[in-house]
Amino acid sequence: MKEELSLLVQLQTMDLKRQKDREVLKGFPEKMAIAEKPLLEVRTELEEARERLETLHQGRKENELALQVIEDKIVKLKLRLTDIKTNKEYHAHLQEIAAARNSKNEIEDHLLNAMEGAEILTKEISEKEAALAKDEAEFLEVKKAVQSEMDAVAAAAATVEDEWQSISAKISKSLLASYQRLFSSSKGLAVVPLHGSICTGCHFSLPPQLIAEVKRQEKVLTCGYCHRILYAKTEQEAAK
Which amino acid is it at 138?
A: E
CB of 202 closer than 8 Å to CB of 34 = no
Q: How far apart are CA 75 and CA 97, in angstroms?
A: 9
pTM of the model: 0.66
| Domain ranges (residues) in the chain | 14-168, 173-239
Give pLDDT, residue 238.
53
Which amino acid is it at 80?
A: R
Give pLDDT, residue 239.
47
Q: Residues of the chain whose pLDDT is less than 70?
A: 1, 235-240
Give pLDDT, residue 187.
78
Q: Is 220 left (phi over 0), alpha (psi -120 to 50) or beta?
A: beta
Residues in Cβ contact with 77 at an 8 Å cutoff, skipping those fewer than 6 apart: 93, 96, 97, 100
Cα→Cα distances 103→58, 64, 79, 97, 203, Å: 19, 13, 19, 10, 90
Give pLDDT, residue 113.
93
Q: Does domain 14-168 have CATH number 1.10.287.1490?
A: yes
Give pLDDT, residue 22.
92
Give pLDDT, residue 235.
57
